[in-house]
Structures are given as C-alpha cells and as structure tokens.
Amino acid sequence: MPAGFNSLFIPGPTNFPNELRAAMNLPAEDQRSPDFPKLSLGLFRDLKKIFQMEDGQVFMFPGSGTGGWESAITNTLSPGDTVLASDFGQFSHLWIDLCQRHGLNVDAIDVDWGEGVPVDIYADRLAKDKEHRIKAVLVCHNETATGVTSDIAAVRKALDAVSHPALLMVDGVSSIASIDFRMAEWGVDLAVSGSQKGFMLPTGLAIVAASAKALEASKTAKCPRCFFSFDDMMAANKDGYFPYTPATTLMRGLRASIDILLDEGLENVFARHNRLAEGVRKAVSAWNLDLVAKDPKWYSDTVSAIYVPDGFDATEVARIAYGRYNLSLGSGLSRLSGRVFRIGHLGWLNDLMLVQAIAGAEMAMADVGIPIELGSGVAAAQQHYRQTAALAELAAQPALAS
C-alpha cells in the first residue's frame, strides 16, 4: 500500500466524516430491542428535514440508489402504465431501462448528453395528454454522468399548467443533501437517494421519500414488489421496526450524517458545494477545457464532467491519476468513455481538498501529454477560494454576520 491517503474524488462513494466513522464503530445491535425505535423513529422524522418535506413518508431499504428507483416505480405504477422520461446521461438512461424491464411503457425523450431535462417537450407532451395516460414523469435531478442539474420546479410548473395528475418522480441520488432539493415546495411525489453520495455514508441504503399522493397511488398499483414494498415497511415502521433485518450500523451512521448536515445547516451545505464546484469550474476554464454541461444553468455543484481534447484518452488520465498519484477521479461512462473524466465534489470536502484534486488532475493530464500549464487550474481555484473564503465564513456564522 502506498503511504498517505487515497484522494477520493469520484462522485460517490464520497469521503466519510470522522464523526460518522466513529458513530459506526460499535457492537452489533438488536434490531428488535425496545430501544431500537429511538434510533429509527428519529431518523424517519429528521430525514424529512433533509428532503424538505412535511407530509408523506421516508423509507430506508437495505440497497443502493438503483433499488430506490425500483421501489419508487413498483409501489406506485402498474405494468403497461405510460411514464414520461428523458435520456441525457448514463443514470437517466438506466432508470428508463429499469422501467422497461418492469413492463412500463416509457415515452423516452432522447436529449443531447450535456443538456438537462427538456421542460418544453415535457410541457408539450403533458398538454397533449388529455386522457391522462401518462402516470408518472421521471426526472434525474443531477445527472452524474454528465454533471448536469435539471430544474425540477419547472417540471412541476409544466404539470400544474395543465393540471396533470401524473406522479413526479425524481432521482436525487447525487443531489439530495448536497444541492437544494425541495420535496414539498416542488410537489415531488417520489424522491430517490442512496447513502453513499450526499449522505457521506458507505453504500447500502436506498432512501426513498414518498408524498401522501404517492402513498395513495401505492394502494392500487399492480407492479409486483416484495422486498421493496411500501406497505410492509409502513406496517412495521410506524413502531420503529422493520419487516426484515435493517442495516442497523448504517442507520447509526445516518444519524451522525443527518446531525452533521443539520448542524452545518442545509443552506450552508448547498452554498459550500456551490463554492467548491465553482473553484473546479474556474480550473477547467484555466485549462481551456470544456465541461460536458453545455450551459451554466445546468452546471452541477456535485460533479464536473470534463472533456479531454480530441486525440487524448481520458481513461488514461484517470488511470495515471490513480496509479501514480493515488488520486481517484471518475471516468467517462458509456458513450462518454475515453472522452471525459469527472471530478466529484460532493460530501465532506473543503477548499484544500479540492485544490489537491485539481493539482493531481493537472499532473495526470500533463503525463498523458495534454497541453495544459501546470498550476494554471490550481491558481484559478486558489484565487476563487481566497476571494470567497471570508464571505463563506461569515455566512456560516449567522450570529456573527447579523
């Protein structure tokens, strides 16, 4: 093993905060004990703060984000139902595939990778759907493959403009707890997340929030479900228990995660991600490279996907970064393979950690012969972080600022 730590800048799993690791270093516990509901009921209550919701319910399944997708659709839809979705990256693509394998009829709009959810096309489809054949509208809030964030509130507006009753389902796996997400205000019916991204935990929990309307839909939905059944969960969850063995250690970690997030304050968490991301974007422009995200309105505050110049192999950049410098970068997925590397900037991170990632990316790019000036991206990020540090410090201490 090389000395020193691996610099982890993939967009999930993300770095574990020390307090969170400590919270999970404990003996195995009895998930049927009279004490256990103290933990679980507190989590159900406080997860709602993270999702910014009041009514409805949050579920914790052992699983990952993919399981969350499956639970959202199987609990609320029936085979043959039509859903409206768009394909603008590997994750939005895979969710569509999952829907198709469950026998749903997906109206999948092909969008250039680098753009976000096509709100105008959604609005048009919804307006024309007078018979309300579309039962759900799917949106990947933050497409992790391309570093693109979509406008969920605008999709809600499109639904409301024609009083369309379809459920609004959001993949928030790489946005929730890092980028502003408002379940109640945006009228989201199902929001899917996982433990290993914004929640800074190991992989192993699918965290799914359902609105009251989604819970109502689950009473008549016919897709088969067993492991992911809302009903079975709700019957046991109301007393703080589970229909099968819950991931107790991860739940201890989740308690610490929520405490860390609420202690920093969600607004500050979002502002920190924006500020760190902006430093990476300044570095990318100093390198004269392009982001996959085609327009600033789509820039993701949790991940940047960066094109290498034609004739170079982005896979080599990530390979050298890892092999020579012990830096983990994200690689290009699917059709972006070889053309893109990604810097994940979500979770437990600060200025100097990002400067390190940028420095390592420069070294690896220089090693494969990409003509960038060593230090150029680092300097651009340093400038940004220096210029904004005092303000960020002040914003994080509202008592002092006022």
Ligand X SMILES: *Cc1c(COP(=O)(O)O)cnc(C)c1O
Which single residue is written with the structure tokens 């409301």? 160
Least Å distance, CB 77 to ligand X, is 18
With CB atoms as reference, the residue minimizing the distance to ligand X is: 65
Cα separation, 402 vs 394, in Å, equals 9
Sequence letter at residue 256: A
- 7 or 174: whose CB is closer to ligand X? 174
- Taking a C-beta distance cutoff of 8 angstroms, is the pair 358, 345 a contact? no
Count of residues touching ligand X (by CB under 6 A): 13
CA 158 to each of CA 114, 118, 119, 121, 152: distance values in angstroms, whole numbers, following the listed order: 22, 11, 7, 10, 10
For ligand X, give the closer residue by CB, 293 or 372: 293
Residues 217/229, Cβ–Cβ less than 8 Å:
no
Residue 17 beta carbon to ligand X: minimum distance, rounded to whole angstroms: 19
- Binding to ligand X, residues 64-83 (CB under 6 A): 64-66
Give the binding range for ligand X (CB under 6 A) out of 43-51, 59-67, 212-220, 324-332: 59-67
Q: How far is the CB of 143 from ligand X (least distance, A)?
A: 6
The reply on whether position 330 binds ligand X by CB under 6 A is no
- Decide: is 140 part of the binding site for ligand X (CB under 6 A): yes
Angle at 194 between CA 316 and CA 15, to 5 degrees: 55
Residue type at 336?
L
Interacting span for ligand X (CB under 6 A) from 127-135, 150-158, 171-179, 207-215? 171-179
* Least CB distance to ligand X at residue 148 (A): 10
Q: Closer to ligand X at the Cβ: 273 or 282?
A: 273
* Smallest separation, CB 87 to ligand X (Å): 13
Whichever of 158 and 173 has its CB closer to ligand X, that residue is: 173
- The window from 158-166, 167-175, 216-224, 343-351 that contacts ligand X (CB under 6 A) reads 167-175
The answer to whether 306 contacts ligand X (rule: CB under 6 A) is no
Nearer to ligand X, 140 or 223 (CB): 140
H, E, C per residue of 97-125: HHHHHCCCEEEEEECCECECCCHHHHHHH
Our measurement of the distance from residue 144's CA atom to the centroid of its chain's CA atoms, rounded to an integer in Å, reads 7
Q: Does 171 bind ligand X (CB under 6 A)?
A: yes
Dihedral sign, CA of 152, 52, 71, 141? Answer: positive
**Using the rule CB under 6 A, is 136 a contact of ligand X?**
no
Contact assessment for residue 210 and residue 57, using Cβ atoms and an 8 Å cutoff: yes
Distance, in Å, from the CA atom of 125 to the CA atom of 211, rounded to the nearest integer, reads 24
Helix 248-264 / helix 36-51 crossing angle, nearest 10 deg: 40
Looking at 7, 8, 9, 12, which residue binds ligand X (CB under 6 A)? Answer: 12
